[in-house]
Structure formats: C-alpha cells, structure tokens
Amino acid sequence: MGSSTITPLQILKTYFGYDSFREGQEEIIDTILDGRDALAIMPTGAGKSLCYQVPALLLPGITLVVSPLISLMQDQVKSLNEAGIHAAYINSSLTEGQISKALSFAARGVYKIIYVAPERLETASFLAFALHTPISMVTVDEAHCISQWGQDFRPSYLKIVDFVRQLPGHPILSAFTATATEVVKNDIARILELKNPNIVITGFDRKNLYYRVEHLTGKQKDTFIANYIASHANESGIIYCATRKNVDTLYEQLLKQGVSVTRYHAGMNTEIRKESQDDFIYDRAQVVIATNAFGMGIDKSNVRFVIHYNMPQSMENYYQEAGRAGRDGEPAECILLFSPQDVMISKMLLGSKDFEGMDFTETEQVRHQDARRLQLMEGYCMTTSCLRNYILEYFGETTDQPCDNCGNCHQEFDEIDMTQDAKWVIGCITEMHGRYGQALVIGTLLGSKKARLRDIGATSYNCYGQLQNRTENELRLLISQMIRQGYVIQTDGEYSVLKVGNISELQKNTRILVKKFKEKEKISISKKRKASYKKSYFENENTSGSSNTASDSSSLNAAKKSDLFE
Ligand code: ADP
Ligand code: MG
C-alpha cells in the first residue's frame, strides 16, 4: 500500500465505512503517523480501536496490539477481517500448530495487525519472530491494566516494556484506556517508558446517558427491576450484580416472570458463558444479568439501560459499566439501585480480594486506595446534587452548571432540619473517642439491639437511642453531608472511622438542612400488571417479524435452564 498517497480519512471511509472522525481520533492518528508515542484516554465507546487500526494500515510494518482478553481479540480480528483487513491473533485459544502457522504467515507479511496477550511476549518463539520481522508500532489496549491503582491490574502488563526494549528499530508505542485518574495515567506513561508522548484526553461527558440513583431495599429492588423491564419491553439492557449468587437468584426470578433473560458470570462453564453473551449481543435475549466479569470489550451499540443491582466498588467501575449503555449515541439510562447493605457487601469483597504477586506493603497501599475509592462511590449514591457533575469532577473535569438532565436534577427533595441530630452525631463520635465507623455510630444513635454495640459498651452512652425516631437512611444522609461540610472526618483505609472535624460553625448554631428524596409511592407490581406484561412481551416479539420469535427465545431459555440445573 502506498502510504504517501492515502490519507487516514480515506482509510476510515474505505475500510470502516465512516464519514468523519470523532473527537480525539484524528489527533492520535496524526501523532502516530508523525512517529511519536501516544497515550489516549477516551471514554468507553469513544472509538479507541480505530485510533490504532487506521495508522496500522498506513505504517510500513506490522502493528502488534497487546490486549488482555481472548474474547476481545477474537471480536476485533473478526471485524477487521470482515472489513477486508488482514489481521490475526495469537493466544492460548490456538494450538501450538496453529500458532506456528500464524507466525510463519506473519513473518511473510500477511498480516498488518496482530493481537497478542501480554504473556505471549515472554515466549521464546514469539520473541524470535518479533526480532526478525519489521514491527512499526506496539499498541497497548486497555492500558490501565499496567497500573496497580487501576481496577484490572495484570502483572504481565509490566513485562511489555522488556519486550519492546529488545526490538530493533524502535517501534512507535501507543497506549489506550478509559481510566482517567492521574495515578493511572502517570503509571502508564512511566512504566511503558513512553517517549515524550502526546497525551490526548477527550471529554468524559456522555451526554446521551441519563444517570439516576434509587435508594431501595432488597425486595424493592426486585420489584423496581420487574416494573422497569415491563415498561421497557423491547429494549436491550444489562443488570450488574455484585456477586454470582445475586446473578443466579435474579436470573431465576426474571425467568419465572417470563422475561427474555440470560446471565453471565465467571463461575459458569466457558461455553455456556460465551453462548449467553452471544444471546445478548445478537438480541436473542433482552436482558443480561451479570457480574462485572461481563462487558470488557463488548461492542453492542443498542444497550438502552444499565441497571446496577448493587453499588460497584469504584466510580471507575461504575463509569465503565454504565458506559456500555447508549454507545450508538441514542438516549439511554444508567440506574444505580442503592441500599446501605451494598456498602457492607463491597467492604467484604474488598477484604477478600486476592493480591497475588504483590508484596505486603503494596497490598496495604492497594487496600487503602480501594477503600478510598469505595467512599467516593458511596458519595455518588448519597449526593443530592447533580450526578453528571459528580462523575465529571471525579475524573478531573471542572463543571459549573448542574446538567438538568439526571435523576437528581429532576428529583424533588424534602428539606429536613437536622441541626439537633447533627449535635447528637458529634456527641456520639466523641463518646466513642473516634474509634468506630459509620455503621456503629448510626446503630448507637438508633438504639439498635445489635450484640456488637453491647460489646463495645455503646448501650450505656448518653447518645444511645437518642435518634431512634430517625431512619438509618436519614442518618446516613446527615453524616455524609456532615463529612462534606467538614464537621465530621471519615478516615481513609479499610477500617475507616469517624472523627470530629471542625465544628465551630455548628457551635454557632448554624442550621443543618438535609435534602431527602421525596417519599415515593409504594413500589409494588400488581398481578394484573404482571399478566399484561407477559402478554405484551409475546405480542411484541410476534409482531416484530424477526427470526427471534418469543418461542425461540423462551425455548432457548428453557434449554439453558435444563443445561444448568438438571
Ligand atoms: P472503545 O475501545 O473506545 O470503547 P471502540 O473502539 O470499541 O470503543 O468503538 C466503539 C464503537 O464506535 C464501534 O462500534 C466503532 O465502530 C464506532 N466508531 C469508532 N469510530 C467511529 C467514527 N469515527 N464514526 C462512527 N463510528 C465510530
Ligand atoms: Mg476498546
């Protein structure tokens, strides 16, 4: 291919069928074609793949793409091949024979783009190939995997740089991620030894996403979901749960209600899992219930809603998972169902995290960071101000106006005067000598009968039971507001405790007004509605004229059910 005459825009049109570049794409492509290293931080769905695929076709040699997941490589190679681009992947899904065949094709220049798992770079056969083949660029996709502060740390990503150092002819390095935090960004540039990289960061605002948080108990969550799916019967959606068990339970429930549903978690057999994923991607199932194992690299453009059944462990996770909605740019909803128990579940999951390959101090640091992230995630669930701004500020974008287009901006609030309650909170923290966390403070003030409170002597405090007329949620809202105002300090770390902050304003009798979501009508799903939902679902499917008829998908579900449970 004569690289001097063909432009990136022509490549875009000819191979990918798009008319124009999106924000950031052209700048990255030009950087690479100028021979300079690049680091692109762009939100999920922004179109990072094209940023390295387009220049790969214009560079003289091969582009190696380091990618963390087999399924991701397979999808990308498949769509490249369909676009008429010669690409291949080399990973453990191939036999040794297939790998040497692929490598010998590659050595003859058959492929322009080759996807590899990071572990592959450490093998002798791959290195031998790389030393004797002109490699123009090494691209690191999902580059946050290199950082211990990122959510998917992958130790073998640290070895990429050793591999690159051995290559003759200094290939260009480019790295891509959707994780925008300062630490992760710096880690990527430093560990990959990027040389004077052009760092391109595009906006994190996904304008077509409508964010919303609902405070609900476990049972209410189930009803909410049933109602929501019923009123969005033809729309594709993802429901994320914190645990595999949650996934299984909710899946069974929805199946019984006649919802066209599939599920995905790492505890499932690989083949069934792949099949479930495809059922969702190819619209044979309306909804997928999944753990966070689902989604990296999945490119399904028409996801209309992403519901989180539990609070995720960090805003990075939330942004990434919620960001799988509305990739086609059409309006989509991201709803987080929050209950105070979610915080406990998350803390438990944090504690049980496996830090293989890290020494003790590193592990402690990571735990500390994780706990901090969890606090900020909880902040998102508790805030009564603009949710979109909260997200943007988290990722370092400054915002001023509320968006007027999120659940909180549309929500009506009641304001309750909690000035006296605030004083009791301070009293309680003082009586506890700043040694305990939020749950025990709240339990004490509510006069809870938990054994733990007796054990620590809280039942004999002055403040014990003083706020028994309040609800747990009200006290959470109050304390989270007091933390924001600096009256209370929540320490970092795994066992975060509450301490008294600067209370001089409080002593001057400044009123504490807490915003509380207006009481909602009792959420319940009536029998009549259930029946009409079932009916409407079948009607919709039958009149759609597509090959995915209701009987297809329900027998598919029935088949799957028997696979898994009999
Ligand atoms: P990311 O890796 O940033 O999450 P992808 O590279 O998977 O995103 O791209 C997301 C979707 O956007 C894909 O379907 C891709 O084909 C599409 N896309 C990318 N660039 C453009 C463009 N310039 N015009 C239209 N669609 C695009
Ligand atoms: Mg990607």
pLDDT single digits (tens) 473-510: 889 889 988 988 889 998 876 678 999 999 988 888 78
The reported pLDDT for the residue numbered 59 is 96
Sign of CA dihedral 529, 531, 534, 540: negative
The reported pLDDT for the residue numbered 539 is 30
Point out which residues pair with 489 in neighbouring strands: 499
- Is 45 near ligand 1, meaning CB less than 6 Å away? yes
- Is 52 near ligand 1, meaning CB less than 6 Å away? no
- Is 48 near ligand 1, meaning CB less than 6 Å away? yes
Of all protein residues, whose CA lies closest to atom 2 belonging to ligand 1?
Answer: 48
Closest ligand 1 atom to the C-alpha of 141? 2
- Is 42 near ligand 1, meaning CB less than 6 Å away? yes
Question: What is the best residue among 19, 49, 77, 201 to mutate for testing ligand 1's pocket, by most ligand atoms within 8 Å of CB?
Answer: 49
Of all protein residues, whose CA lies closest to atom 23 belonging to ligand 1?
Answer: 21
| Phi-psi group of 100: left, alpha or beta (phi > 0 → left; psi -120 to 50 → alpha; rest → beta) | alpha
ipTM above 0.85, yes or no: yes
Angle between helices 218-231 and 244-256 (to 10 degrees): 50
Of all protein residues, whose CA lies closest to atom 13 belonging to ligand 1?
Answer: 47
The reported pLDDT for the residue numbered 541 is 28
Report the C-alpha gap between 480 and 382 in whole angstroms. 7
Identity of the residue numbered 141: D
pLDDT, tens digit, for every residue of 269-325?
A: 989 999 999 999 999 999 999 998 898 767 788 999 999 999 998 898 899 899 999
**What residues in the chain have per-residue pLDDT under 50?**
1-3, 521-566
CA of 87 to the centre of ligand 2 (A): 16
CB 488 within 8 A of CB 482: yes
Backbone angles phi, psi at 239, to 5 degrees: -120, 115
Nearest to 294 by CA among 278, 314, 310: 278
Closest ligand 1 atom to the C-alpha of 301? 14
The reported pLDDT for the residue numbered 345 is 77
What are 397's two structure tokens? 């974008």
CA of 22 to the centre of ligand 1 (A): 9
Q: What is the pTM of this model?
A: 0.68
Taking the CA of 43 as reference, the closest ligand is 1
The reported pLDDT for the residue numbered 357 is 54
The reported pLDDT for the residue numbered 516 is 77
Of all protein residues, whose CA lies closest to atom 20 belonging to ligand 1?
Answer: 47
CA of 249 to the centre of ligand 2 (A): 31
CA of 77 to the centre of ligand 2 (A): 13
| Phi-psi group of 279: left, alpha or beta (phi > 0 → left; psi -120 to 50 → alpha; rest → beta) | alpha
Nearest to 292 by CA among 326, 275, 317, 324: 317
Taking the CA of 69 as reference, the closest ligand is 2
CA of 35 to the centre of ligand 1 (A): 23
Question: Counting Cβ atoms within 10 Å, is residue 53 exposed (0-12), middle (13-18) or buried (19+)?
Answer: buried
Closest ligand 1 atom to the C-alpha of 12? 23
- Is 43 near ligand 1, meaning CB less than 6 Å away? no
- Is 47 near ligand 1, meaning CB less than 6 Å away? yes
Taking the CA of 16 as reference, the closest ligand is 1
Report the C-alpha gap between 93 and 8 in whole angstroms. 33
CB 52 within 8 A of CB 38: no
CA of 147 to the centre of ligand 1 (A): 24
Point out which residues pair with 214 in neighbouring strands: 337
Taking the CA of 54 as reference, the closest ligand is 1
Question: Counting Cβ atoms within 10 Å, is residue 203 exposed (0-12), middle (13-18) or buried (19+)?
Answer: middle
Residue 267 per-residue DSSP state: T
- Is 18 near ligand 1, meaning CB less than 6 Å away? yes
Question: What is the best residue among 299, 319, 324 to mutate for testing ligand 1's pocket, by most ligand atoms within 8 Å of CB?
Answer: 299
- Is 319 near ligand 1, meaning CB less than 6 Å away? no
Q: Provide the 3-class DSSP secondary structure of residue 339.
A: coil
- Is 21 near ligand 1, meaning CB less than 6 Å away? yes
Identity of the residue numbered 459: T
What are 276's two structure tokens? 């479930």
Of all protein residues, whose CA lies closest to atom 21 belonging to ligand 1?
Answer: 47
The reported pLDDT for the residue numbered 295 is 81
Of all protein residues, whose CA lies closest to atom 18 belonging to ligand 1?
Answer: 47
- Is 24 near ligand 1, meaning CB less than 6 Å away? no
CA of 460 to the centre of ligand 1 (A): 61
CB 320 within 8 A of CB 41: no
Helices and strands of the chain, counted as H and E runs: 23, 17
Backbone angles phi, psi at 496, to 5 degrees: -75, 140
Taking the CA of 300 as reference, the closest ligand is 1
Instruction: Tell the residue number behind the tokens 């690479």, with chain if given.
Output: 32
Taking the CA of 52 as reference, the closest ligand is 1
Sign of CA dihedral 186, 30, 327, 12: negative
Alpha-helix residue ranges (DSSP H) falling in 152-293: 160-166, 182-191, 218-231, 244-256, 270-281
